[in-house]
Amino acid sequence: MRYIDYQEHRQHGTFNFPIAYYHENPRTPRYHMTYHWHRSYEIIYIKKGSFNITLDDSSRTYSEGDVVFVSDGMLHGGVPNDCYYDCIVFNLEMLLKDNNACSKMVNDIINHKIIINTYLSENNEKILTITQNLCNALSGKAEGYEFQVQGYLYILFGEIIKDELYTKSAFNNITNERLNSIKQVLAYISDNYSNNISLDELSHIAGMNPKYFCRYFKSMTDRTPIDYLNYYRIESACEMLSTKDMNIREVAISCGFNDESYFIKTFHKYKNITPKQYVKKEF
């Protein structure tokens, strides 16, 4: 579901406590993770089921007990499969406050001199236990939980550094430019999905010829650009049907479908149910 923009602008937590916790399952409106990026860091903990997640230009299916680390600016998203998962989104600078002992290492992570591994819990039970404690503290919000949360974050990064679950930066300008071009395309889709969008427009924004653009885009998202555009439109339609007082025709037009019957057909293709059935299921 399109609960965040491709470049996410929402504030997670508060100014003094910039960390937020989200629990997702097949019945929550934020269950589907469309591709996006943000300037915060994110920890994804798979509690049940599986989740095929793409991080920048690589994809992997994660299962129950896996902990995934998403660095700031990393393009990410994917398809959950009967999955229950927790997301912790936070500003790493919160660990710099009045803390000189850890500031160099934290700054090295922020400045991308150190790149944290994405698959944190591989053969590491301590990481899993720390993450579970962190999620429990954030979900329970017992008196004094703020101390617990910051403590668990320090312990988590301490374990990451101790076990060298990171690599030194090997910055690739070409890869970075291509990823940025995909981010621009995704931002354009987010802003203009209600209008007619052609493959030529998207490939022009990416600065690639259409054939190469299609191949590279699919390698990133497992979808062609037009398939992804329609997928995004249907996810937006689901959000409108769930949260707004709009009939099916109004939703179709708002999501870039001038033909209501084609909208219903496309909706069924991606959701295996009609918009009317979806509304009944939601309510």
Q: Could you write out the DSSP letters of every residue in 60-88? A: EEEETT-EEEE-TT--EEEEEEEEEEEEE
pLDDT at 4: 40
pTM for this model (two decimals): 0.69
pLDDT at 1: 36
pLDDT at 110: 87
pLDDT at 37: 86
The DSSP bridge pattern shows strands 67-70 and 33-36 to be unpaired
Q: How many CB atoms lie within 10 A of CB 173?
A: 7
Task: Supply 217's token pair.
Answer: 């885009």
Of the candidates 275, 147, 246, 253, which has an alpha carbon nearest to the alpha carbon of residue 195?
253
Per-residue model confidence as pLDDT tens digits over 111-127: 888 999 999 998 899 99
Does residue 127 sit in helix, strand or coil?
helix
Write the DSSP assignment of 171-207 as a string of letters.
--HHHHHHHHHHHHHHHHHHHHTTS---HHHHHHHHT
Q: DSSP label at 7?
A: B
CA 199 to CA 147: how far, in whole Å? 50
Contact 255, 240 (CB under 8 A): yes
Residue 82 makes CB contacts below 8 A (sequence gap 6+) with: 26, 48, 49, 50
Distances (CA, A) of 25 to 50, 84, 157, 162, 196: 11, 5, 27, 33, 33
pLDDT at 98: 66
CA 66 to CA 281: how far, in whole Å? 30
pLDDT at 66: 98
pLDDT at 15: 67
Phi, psi of 161 (to 5 degrees): -70, -45
pLDDT less than 50: residues of the chain:
1-11
pLDDT at 197: 95
